[in-house]
Every structure is written in C-alpha cells, then in structure tokens.
Amino acid sequence: MTGVRVAVPAKINLSLRVGPLRPDGFHDLATIFQAVSLIDEVTVAHGEPDSGRLVTVRGQRIDGVPLDDRNLAARAAIAVAQLAGLDDPDVRIEIDKSIPVAGGMAGGSADAAATLLACRRLWEVDVDDAVLHRLAAELGSDVPFCLLGGTARGTGRGEHLVPVLDGGQWHWVVAFDEGELSTPEVFAECDRLRAIGAAEPTLGSDDELIAALRSGSPQELAPLLVNDLQPAALALRPSLAATLELGTELGALAGIVSGSGPTCVFLGADRDHAIGLAAELAGTGRVRGVRHAVGPVRGAHLVA
Ligand code: ATP
C-alpha cells in the first residue's frame, strides 16, 4: 500500500519497579525503558477500509490482534482525526508486525505511536510533538516512550519520561514464548503475591543502573536488571523459569522477563556473543523463536 509509512521499535524494561495498587486501579511505576531493534511498520493511506476493516495486519501469530476500532492503531488514528476536526476520516491502516503480540514488548503501543505520527503527516495536522505526546499518554502508558525511543526513565504509569544518557550499544537475545500473557492479569497476580507475602517490591533506586548505562559495560549492567513483574509472570507461566535458566546456562550475562512477559530477554557481552547465544538457544528447540536485537534505537519515525 502506498501512503505514509512509519517504523517503530519494541521496548524492553531494563528496570521495572512497581509501587502499590492505587485507588484508581493503576500502579505507580519507576522504569528504565530501552527501545530495541524489533520493528513494526505502520502504513496509513487515504481510502475506504477493505470490507469494513480499518486495520490490516501481516506477520506471525497475529490472531489476537483486533482489526476494528479496538486496535490501538485505529484508536490513535481516530484521536488525530478528532484533533484535526475531521468528522469522517478516510483512512486505511496496514501493520507489518515483528513485535510479538501480548509479549510484554509494547507491540500495540508501538503501533499506536506510529499511527499518531503517520496520521499527523497524512492529514497535515499542524500540531507539535508535545501535543502528540499528550495524545499518546491518553492512549496508553507505553505509547509516549514508543514515540521517544532511545533509553529513558519513566514514572507515573510510565508516561512521564526523561531521556537517560546511554553510552552503550547493547546486544540482546530475545526469546519468544509459545503463548501470550495479559498485562492486567500479570499486575493482578503481582498484587496477589504481595498480599500473601510471596513477593516484595524491589527496594532501592536506579542510580547504579543509570551509571552502568553511561559506562557502556554489559558486565556492569547485567546484575542490575530488575523486574518486579517477573515473579507474577513466572507464577502464571512456570515454563519461563526454565527459559531463563537455559539462557544463563548458555552464557548470557543476565536474563529477564520483558515487562509483563512472556518474552524473555538475555544480555550478551557483544554482537558476536549475542549472535552465538541466539543460535544456540534456537538450536535447543525449547523456545518458539529467537532474535538478536540491539538497543537503544530511535523511536517512531517516518520511512516513506
Ligand atoms: P505491554 O508490553 O504494553 O503491556 P504487550 O506487548 O504485552 O503490551 P500488546 O502486543 O500490546 O501486548 O497486545 C496486548 C493486547 O492488545 C492484544 O492481545 C490485543 O488484543 C490488543 N491490541 C490492540 N491493538 C493491538 C496492536 N496494534 N497490536 C497488538 N495487539 C493489539
């Protein structure tokens, strides 16, 4: 499809600290996001949607992706149309998906961020990035970071962002799981485990991790990766413990569940090490798929 095309990266959380449940049902988070080179591409064009579907999606394991206005990309397009005062926007959205669906890598949020940018261009809407950021935060907590990219500290629900100085080029091995995990269910499991005393919030700050990022040393970064949602993801999907163990046995400097899971990410010492690790992990046949990814990469950006 010819139109406006935007590339957008997946995110991983190098640190994800989850506060107590708030009265509004959300949790305060303190997180360090990094955008990595697993990329979705979103194209928007003028025209009536085919067979009433606003969204077309291509990729593997995309059955769980809605094609109507429940799709976050469609909701992003509607938000830009409203801003531009377009009552009946003609738009088709095509998504080429590489980011795993419900994998803890913010795939839906990434597509929403890409669509915001693409529709601003398509309809030549005269608003600056700050306005787009506000729309992004209304669509979902991870959407602003998908616009920004790089490495950043996120607070609030994750939408208040400050870029972090990152001196490294980090090589990750991403292990896809057979299934999906629902983010709300993982947060609920985290609350349940805490209520029965089976999990505790991580104490401390991310200062050391931020210093390690500045240093560029994977050996310094490895022991500082932390994810408060990991015990909950492991409780809901016990096989992830074996995946994490396998990666570290094969020589990863560290392994962690990505966000709410079930994708796991492993840190390599350098490019060759990560590529070798990815090949070995794939060779075991014990994970659905394996990819080498680098970070940080830029956030959503126009490619055509
Ligand atoms: P996060 O890491 O932000 O918690 P996730 O990566 O675990 O999210 P997503 O891939 O964003 O999960 O999908 C979560 C659910 O959102 C899917 O099961 C699907 O029903 C819905 N969804 C809506 N729009 C999209 C989209 N564009 N891509 C994928 N899923 C979408």
62 Cβ inside 6 Å of ligand 1: no
Same domain, 249 and 267: yes
Task: Compute, in angstroms, the gap from residue 143 CA to the centroid of ligand 1.
Answer: 11
299 Cβ inside 6 Å of ligand 1: no
Q: 107, 131, 161: which is the final residue of a domain?
A: 161
Task: Compute, in angstroms, the gap from residue 286 CA to the centroid of ligand 1.
Answer: 24
User: Smallest Cα–Cα separation from 25: which of 260, 183, 230?
Assistant: 183
In a domain, residue 302? The reply is no
Q: DSSP state, 281? A: H
Please state the atom number of ligand 1 nearest to the C-alpha of residue 102: 12
> What is the model's pTM?
0.95
Same domain, 29 and 131: yes
Please state the atom number of ligand 1 nearest to the C-alpha of residue 62: 29
What's 14's domain CATH number? 3.30.230.10
110 phi, psi to nearest 5 deg: -60, -45
Token output for 252: 């990863």
For helices 239-249 and 271-283, angle between their N-to-C axes, nearest 10 degrees: 130
Same domain, 157 and 8: yes
Same domain, 101 and 153: yes
Domain that holds residue 252: 170-295
In a domain, residue 300? The reply is no
pLDDT one-digit tens code per residue, 264-293: 999 999 999 999 999 999 999 999 999 999
Same domain, 145 and 37: yes
Same domain, 193 and 141: no
Same domain, 133 and 175: no
Q: Which positions are catalytic?
A: 11, 142
Alpha-carbon gap, residue 200 to 137, rounded angstroms? 28
Task: Compute, in angstroms, the gap from residue 184 CA to the centroid of ligand 1.
Answer: 11
Three-state SS for 24-77 is: CCCEEEEEEEEEEEEEEEEEEECCCCHHHCCEEEEECCCCCCCCCCCCHHHHHH
- What pLDDT is recorded for position 213? 98
What's 199's domain CATH number? 3.30.70.890
- What pLDDT is recorded for position 101? 92
Token output for 44: 């928007």
In a domain, residue 214? The reply is yes
Which amino acid residue places its CA nearest to atom 14 of ligand 1? Answer: 102
- What pLDDT is recorded for position 25? 86
104 Cβ inside 6 Å of ligand 1: yes
- What pLDDT is recorded for position 35? 98
Ligand 1, residues 16, 41, 42, 72: which to mutate, most atoms within 8 A of Cβ? 72
In a domain, residue 210? The reply is yes
Q: How many domains does the chain have?
A: 2
**Torsion on CA atoms 260, 16, 300, 294, rounded to nearest 10:** -90
15 Cβ inside 6 Å of ligand 1: no
In a domain, residue 114? The reply is yes
Same domain, 82 and 174: no
177 Cβ inside 6 Å of ligand 1: no
Residue 153 has, within 13 A of its CA and on its CB side, a CA count of 14
Q: 135, 161, 187: which is the final residue of a domain?
A: 161
Q: 140, 161, 182: which is the final residue of a domain?
A: 161
- What pLDDT is recorded for position 51? 60
Do 73 and 114 meet the contact criterion of CB atoms below 8 Å apart? yes
168 Cβ inside 6 Å of ligand 1: no
Please state the atom number of ligand 1 nearest to the C-alpha of residue 97: 28
- What pLDDT is recorded for position 138? 97
User: Smallest Cα–Cα separation from 209: which of 272, 254, 249?
Assistant: 254
In a domain, residue 301? The reply is no
pLDDT one-digit tens code per residue, 231-255: 999 999 999 999 999 999 999 999 9
Same domain, 152 and 250: no
Please state the atom number of ligand 1 nearest to the C-alpha of residue 72: 24
Cβ partners under 8 Å of residue 34, min gap 6: 11, 12, 13, 14, 150, 151, 166, 170, 295, 296
In a domain, residue 113? The reply is yes
In a domain, residue 303? The reply is no
Task: Compute, in angstroms, the gap from residue 68 CA to the centroid of ligand 1.
Answer: 14
Same domain, 221 and 276: yes
Ranges of residues in the chain with a pLDDT under 50 are none
Which amino acid residue places its CA nearest to atom 29 of ligand 1? Answer: 108
Which amino acid residue places its CA nearest to atom 23 of ligand 1? Answer: 71
Which amino acid residue places its CA nearest to atom 16 of ligand 1? Answer: 108
Alpha-carbon gap, residue 97 to 41, rounded angstroms? 7
Same domain, 180 and 274: yes
Same domain, 156 and 70: yes
- Whole-angstrom CA distances from 63 to 97, 111, 180 are 12, 16, 11
- What pLDDT is recorded for position 52? 62
Token output for 280: 């070995």
